[in-house]
Amino acid sequence: MDGAQIYLVTGGCGFIGEKITELLSQQDYIKEVRVFDSVARKEVEKFATGTENLLRACCALNIPYVVYTSSIAAVGPNILREPMLRGNEDTKYSGEVELPYGKTKAMAERLVLEANGKKLSNGGKLTTCAIRANTVYGERAKFLHELYLSAKAHNGVLNYLEPEHTERNSTYVGNVAWMHVLAARHLQLKPDILAGQVYYSYDDTPTTKSFLIRYQLMSCMDPSIRLGSHIPYWKMWLLIHLYRIIEVILSPFWKFRPSLNFPLLHTIVTTFSFETDKAFRHFGYKPLYSWEESKLRTAQWLKMAAGNPSLQ
């Protein structure tokens, strides 16, 4: 175990990575936590797939364990927008993923799982698993801050795109990070159980309507926020087409990048939810933070971020 007491967090300055680093640093069985992060530079643009290079480095440098942060977007929704209602890691769901982000995550996840069992340069073998995050909220969640500012700009009214019957899961960032910490530990202790496995991240955040979760997080810190009404699909359809026209007109002078497009809209309005206890069964995961504590922590950060742009 001595060689496993140095942990490297790639993307450790990011939203989830920073929380993973914080929790790892609190574990007494870890000797050292190292953080690697990057800013896109011309020198690294020649490398096509970062995950592939990471796996090659692990094999060359005899790093035996990898926990990969994947996403539920790697599974779906697909281009047919077929829903998944309260599935689990074994639920059969096929078809091409529609969201571009999901396509890249699916490719990277596949590389990680296929690398499980590969030989290291010292004759050992690489052991991998993946954690599929869903909608992650908490401190430094930029999308929440942006939604809050949008609501304040509309007299405190928070409108939403999801039809009321839509189900999606949300998880507090601290619990997503805690699942990573436990998985990394037990990947060493119980490799026969965790090797090559995927796990959905989860906690006791309510799973019914995402817009209600966002409303509770915001109204907890600012009671003036009011839940508005559903924005019809056809309105957003027209708006996205308008964005496309503007993008074409402005392209010679300015790169216009709208925040909403059809793949993202279709993902928002399609039910894609799961129920699972696989992480508990395989490595004893239980949420470190309750829904009430997660809500309070998020609201406190949101309040500070609203008054201090440097905290965004």
Quick one: pLDDT at residue 161?
A: 93
Q: Report the range of poorest mean pLDDT among 61-75, 109-123, 169-183, 249-263.
A: 249-263
pLDDT exceeds 60 at position 122: yes
What lies within 8 Å, CB to CB, of 290 at 6+ separation is 204
Q: In angstroms, rounded to a whole number, what is the distance separating the alpha carbons of residues 162 and 264?
A: 12
Kindly state the tokens that stand for 270.
């399609």
Residue-level pLDDT at 309: 56
Question: Region 193-217: what's the mean pLDDT?
Answer: 93
pLDDT of residue 263: 92
Asked if the structure places residue 208 within a domain, the reply is: yes
Question: In CATH, what number is assigned to the domain containing residue 122?
Answer: 3.40.50.720
User: What confidence score (pLDDT) does residue 266 get?
Assistant: 93
Residue 73 in domain: yes
pLDDT band for 23, please (50, 70, 90 cuts): very high
- The per-residue pLDDT for 44 is 41
Mean pLDDT of the chain: 90
For residue 216, pLDDT beyond 50: yes
Tell me the pLDDT band of 46, cut-offs 50, 70 and 90.
Answer: very low
Q: Catalytic amino acids?
A: 101
Q: What is the pLDDT of residue 89?
A: 96
Has residue 310 got a pLDDT over 60?
A: no
In a domain, 193, yes or no: yes
Decide if pLDDT at 111 tops 50.
Answer: yes
308 pLDDT higher than 80: no
Provide the domain count of the chain.
1
Identify the pLDDT of residue 45.
45
**For residue 243, is it within any domain?**
yes
CB-based contacts of 143, cutoff 8 Å, min separation 6: none
> Residue 67 forms beta bridges with which residues?
129
153, part of any domain = yes
Is it the case that residue 211 has pLDDT exceeding 80?
A: yes
Are residues 306 and 220 in contact, defined by beta-carbon separation less than 8 angstroms? no
Q: What per-residue confidence (pLDDT) applies to 39?
A: 56
d(CA 182, CA 176): 10
Give the CA-trace dihedral at 209, 233, 220, 207, to 10 degrees: 10
Separation of CA 131 from chain center: 9
Rounded CA separation 223/136 (Å): 23
Determine the average pLDDT of the residues in 204-225.
90
Pick from 75-79, 168-172, 306-310: least confident: 306-310
Q: Provide the domain limits for residue 284.
A: 2-307
In a domain, 312, yes or no: no
Instruction: Flag whether 93 is in a domain.
Output: yes
Most confident of 48-52, 180-184, 305-309: 180-184
Q: Which residue has the higher pLDDT, 94 or 309?
A: 94
Does residue 103 have a pLDDT over 70? yes
Residue 155, domain member (yes or no):
yes
Least confident range from 77-86, 125-134, 203-212: namely 203-212
Q: Is the pLDDT of residue 258 over 90?
A: no
Evaluate if residue 170 carries a pLDDT over 90.
Answer: yes
Asked if residue 40 has pLDDT above 60, the reply is no
Percent of the chain at pLDDT exceeding 90: 78
